Amino acid sequence: MINLIKADVLALRKAKSDLSSVMVFHLAELQKVSKASGKDISDDEVIQYVKKAVQKLSEDKFSNPAEIAALTVYLPVMATEAEILEVISPILTRGGHKGEVMKAVKIAFGASVDMKLVSQLC
38 pLDDT band, cuts 50/70/90, is confident
**Rounded Cα gap, residues 95 and 82, in angstroms:** 20
Label residue 106 exposed, middle or buried (CB < 10 Å: 0-12, 13-18, 19+): middle
Residue 22 has pLDDT above 90, yes or no: yes
pLDDT for 69? 93
pLDDT for 27? 93
Share of the chain above pLDDT 70, in %: 100
Report pLDDT digits (tens) over 42-77: 888 898 899 999 999 999 989 999 999 999 999 888
CA angle 4, 68, 50 (to 5 degrees): 50
